[in-house]
Amino acid sequence: MVSRSDLANAIRVLSMDAVQKANSGHPGMPMGMADIAEALWRHHLKHSPANPGWFDRDRFVLSNGHGSMLLYSLLHLSGYDLSIDDLKAFRQWHSKTPGHPEYRYAPGVETTTGPLGQGITNAVGMALAEKVLAAEFNRDGHAIVDHHTWVFLGDGCLMEGISHEACSLAGTWGLGKLIAFYDDNGISIDGDVEGWFTDDTVKRFEAYGWQVIPAIDGHDFAALDAAIAAAKADTARPTLICCRTKIGKGAPNKEGGHDVHGAPLGDAEIAATRAHLNWPHAPFEIPADIASAWNAREAGAAREAAWTERFAAYRAAFPAEAAEFERRMRGELPANWAAHAAAAIEKINAKGETIATRKASQNAIEAFAPALPELLGGSADLASSNLTLWSGSKGVSREQGGNYVYYGVREFGMAAIMNGATLHGGFKPYGATFLMFSEYARNALRMAALMKINPIFVFTHDSIGLGEDGPTHQPVEQTATLRLIPNMDTWRPADTVESAVAWQAAIERQDGPSTLIFSRQNLPFLSRDAEQIAAIRRGGYVLREADKARAVLIATGSEVELALKAQALLAEEGIAVRVVSMPSTNVFDRQDKAYIASVLPAGLPRVAVEAGVSDFWRKYVGLEGGVVGLDHFGESAPAKQLFEAFGFTAANVAQTVKSVL
């Protein structure tokens, strides 16, 4: 009979061989956590390698993503569609096995990890989604949502501040199906962590409200089995299993030191490791008995079949709920969505309100949310300022599910938790903070864009229009830099109708995240015909035409009103200019050349107006055009005074236009 040590050693040798072949990577963690991986993946993980998208599978997150070969080895050995040739292509061009786990590359990879701390935070989002989805759909005798979220993490994840944000919330929410394994090997790339990481991790997580199982020998299968059983038994608290391990376990001359963390072992040490492990097989060769013992396709299919049978019973008893659950997990919008959205926007247009776009955003949520039970709202505190609550909001807590998450002052944690909930399926999360504090969340926004998933990030108080709170709270460069994130659609609407259309576009988007940026101050309603309303979806459009226009004014958000006033002043002097509203430069840039040329005709001088950094707009106005922008930080004063002091007046915009003619 194959021993568990031999089964774990299969992970070790595949990992060290792949790193050696690539001449790049991190063999230490996979070799150190191989025994933990065997204990979890062969004895507890509920998955179906033949169907990685099975709705009720357990989620596994490798938060210490630099150890990616551990995950790739597990996927290959378990029977996922990841071949030995894929392992041999580790870290190579267009391979399914990139240096860090990448969502959508290899089947079974639940999220992209690498930036430490975000994996555990994604996992909190997945566990939250499981809890809320179960509360919504499960019925007595019909538990169709019933799975765990498992996490591997290391010292680096715990050093990152985001782990505090997320794990504190996990304890508060009582996410009892979240179980994390802490790889306590005492080593980072720089060496022994005792020089910079002396936290009492046990007390820290106990303070969060977690069950903590301390001092487990990460190479003792019996101890690991007992710890996992104890973790699963406590359904009221998330669990941290602290596993003392040797990094690079099995490498006789390098285990336990930092030299094995982030570099290939070398041919000599690999040969010594094979001898030490009594592994006489060639690189990438797995004996048939070990391969058979690892293969989980048959067992996974049986688990999935049992669930399918339970779901059939659920469907018979609750047909409407079953259909809704499947729609939600497929990520499809309701059949009546298009008609509902169109009617809502028509009503908003007819109302013609002059209000802050943050309020317009709330009105859009109020109009759309009844048709979208998958919306999972939230805010990093500030809900009363961001206006993200609606009449049907129900706060998620330890005791109940709901559709609204009070994240507290945790912008980064919120964004990464939203990513995790999105990846889990069944929800379309949105979460809010002030635009200035998108900086705290930025790497999670980037990760959403990298994975091409579609959470909605809501940012209010979008400029010096914030006023008296001063430059610490007044965004200057943030809108421009958000636009620069690949795959991110950034919207800065000018009024109620543009705000609603921006929300509609973000809800309907499938291939990337959206950021919606709203004002604190009131903005006037702008009249449009039906063709113009339809054109908002194209990111930029002609809002006010002028006969024989001599220039084009481009504006966004609160500055569209200013462009219109400047147009009127110039008209009094006999200078005709076109006004273009461009709520989303990202969407506008994807339009066909003919449409772009129809909005921004060649040969006409252009002036852009936005209360933010000016350099971004040079792509539209060129070196010869003009920009009324803000290339310095703000001040603490009433908004009206600031706009006037910094040149955001109709007269200055008009003068800028005249300067480029």
Q: Structure tokens of 50? A: 């033949």
CA distance 368 to 371: 6
Write the Ramachandran bin of 23: left for phi over 0, alpha for psi from -120 to 50, otherwise beta. left
Question: For the stretch 375-412, what's the b/e string if a residue is b when 16 or more beta carbons lie within 10 angstroms of its beta carbon?
Answer: bbbbbbbbbeebbbbbeebeebeeeebbbbbbbeebbb
CA distance 282 to 277: 13
DSSP string, 44-79: T----TT-TT-TTPPEEEESSGGGHHHHHHHHHHHT
Which one, of 423, 515, 331, lies nearest residue 113 by Cα?
Answer: 423
Contact predicate 458/518, CB 8 Å: yes
Q: Which amino acid is at 187?
A: I
Which one, of 476, 489, 490, 563, lies nearest residue 524 by Cα?
Answer: 563
Q: How far is CA 540 from the centre of its chain?
A: 26
Which H or E run contains 412?
Answer: helix 411-424
CA distance 199 to 185: 14
Which residues are known to be catalytic? 411
CA distance 443 to 161: 13
CB atoms within 10 A of CB 325: 22
DSSP string, 27-51: -HHHHHSHHHHHHHHHHT----TT-
**Angle at alpha carbon of residue 134, lines to 376 and 115, rounded to 5°:** 55
Q: Structure tokens of 260? A: 């094995």
CA distance 294 to 532: 60
- Report how far apart, in Å, the C-alpha atoms of 303 and of each of 42, 49, 77, 178, 594 are: 14, 11, 18, 20, 54
Contact predicate 60/48, CB 8 Å: no
CA distance 543 to 556: 11
**Given CA atoms 278, 284, 287, 291 in this order, what sign does their dihedral have?**
positive
Which H or E run contains 482?
Answer: helix 478-483
**Dihedral (Cα; 29, 32, 35, 41), 10-degree rounding:** 0
Which H or E run contains 555?
Answer: strand 551-555
Q: Structure tokens of 545? A: 């035409």
Report the greatest alpha carbon distance in the chain.
93
**Angle at alpha carbon of residue 423, lines to 73 and 100, rounded to 5°:** 35
Q: Which amino acid is at 169?
A: L
CB atoms within 10 A of CB 574: 7
Q: Structure tokens of 132? A: 């809320």
Helix axes 161-173, 201-208, angle to 10 degrees: 40
Those residues whose C-beta lies under 8 Å from the C-beta of residue 613, and which sit 6 or more positions away, are 476, 477, 480, 629, 630, 631
